[in-house]
Structure 1
Amino acid sequence: MTTDLVAALDIGGTKIAGALVDGRGSILVRAQRATPAQQDGETVMRAVAEVLGELAASPLWDRVAALGIGSAGPVDASAGTVSPVNVPGWRGFPLVERVRAAVGELPVELIGDGVAITAAEHWQGAARGHDNALCMVVSTGVGGGLVLNGQLYPGPTGNAGHIGHISVDLDGDLCPCGSRGCVERIASGPNIARRALDNGWLPGPDGDASAAAVAAAARAGDPVAVASFERAAQALAAGIAATATLVEIDIAVIGGGVGKAGDVLFGPLNKALASYATLSFVSRLTVVPAQMGTDAGLVGAAAAALALRADSAAAGV
């Protein structure tokens, strides 16, 4: 990594975060707005522009060499467009073009949010030092990204490693993506909670029916809550093992809200993984919690911008 300063955007259905980040991954300036996710696309873009305007007002802005964007997806990096499932006003939205116009033609790199988190974990987190890794976000949805041969591998459109939509139950429930039995349909937070409720789990007096509440119940020994996490762990294990068999990763990193559940997830996950990752070249695969926390999207977007800047410098641009 060079010591250039870059700008980063982390765009999701809840917030639009921005930062100026140095070549060591330190965040020097921050800006943030709530995502007006249910409003029209131009309203969402105005919130992005406000974040960029706040960053540009910093005296450090003159040192910014490139801008990286990690966005909820699907994204199409080849076209510079985004269509986040949870931002209905953006469908094929020309985000790269609009951001480039707002920041004075700086080089802009777009990647999916799962790929951004992968970049962060490989640069500074749990996948550091591993040349072949899968990093996952298990939260409201399930996303991911790949590091292959020591390099981030976003794929042609920026979506490679999207493990959430590998089918692990051929005749399973219909997923909103249109397929059946997807990892996300079984292992995401809302689906863990849904399955527990469907099987008779009752929330406590506070009425909290979230996956975090199911995790707390599982830690306390509630058998229905335990079973819901075991089913999620089985789906994750099958998807991770399939990925490892295909591209020979040696570590899988799990972040996101569900990834914070601790032993109620990682215990059954490691047990299930032993049943699926059976071939000699995947049997040493390890699964670990993510380390980068809530800044992972920003740090990963910055990593992508730094890589873009390095590639441009190498090409003499």
Structure 2
Amino acid sequence: MTRFLSFLSALIVMAGLAHADPAFWRHEWPDTNFNKTSVKNWAEIMSGGPPRDGIPALDDPTFRKVGSERRISGTEPVITVEMGGATPRAYPLRYLTWHEIVNDSVGGIPIAVTFCPLCNSGITFDRRIRRGTLRFGVTGKLRNSDMVMFDRETESWWQQAIGEAIVGDLTGTQLRALPSWMESFAQFKARNPSGLVMEQPDYDRSYGRNPYAGYDSSSRPFLYSGENPPHGISPLERVVRVGNRAWPLTRIRETGGVHEAGVSISWEKGQASALDHATIAKGRDVGTVRVRDGQGRNVAHDVMFAFAFHAFWPKGRWMVR
């Protein structure tokens, strides 16, 4: 797996460098304003393989009661959204792995539930900005191995890990991250017996399979040429990011949780990695993280790979002890 990814990365990097120029991209993106950008080096953005919308984002999905769901194993990870007094919803990674973005509305708030498999980054955003409500798709481009999204209203490009527009008319605009978290389907169901789980999309995909088998055990991230994290932390070690701070998951797991920097971070076993075994339900147990503030309220956070935190928060604070 590692050798194959390295070979594939080399091929895509060579092709990407040859086309790291807006002049080449304009035929596919005629409505994107490439004259406005925060990207200093276009070579940072490269093709991940699929073209625009080659990874199809989902719009306005349907749901079913958790008690009627029989296809999803209890250990499989879901992204949980509980907000606005609305019925809690679970977005299974067995679907997000293949679609990466779900445009939905919960409790009257338009949201985008996003998952970048290459960074293990799962973040839920409020789709509203001053200019209106956006609907997101997948460009097929990567930057520091992280998904580059686009909005269909202005065709600006957005960096998923930081929720910020990096190319186009909306460059510099920041999306508001909403509290959500990854947990096992069994954990979601036990806490929300009347909750809703996203219905299987009507696409020809191998849902429940992991196309990135063995990825989170690789020595090097896919299409990443930046620095390794400090403190001897493995690039593909999971970290809990809250703002510009990152706690290594190994520390959280070993200590049973921490209370620092105004937040409480807990861990419990029971959630399978979506990026380990070829069958997601058989992935090794990476556990479930919850982050709360001093009043016990859920806090927006991300459980991402260490290399991605270092790439997008190079001056971030590492909470190693």
TM-score (norm 1): 0.23
Normalized per residue, which structure has more strand? 2
Larger Rg: 1
For normalisation by structure 2, the TM-score amounts to 0.23
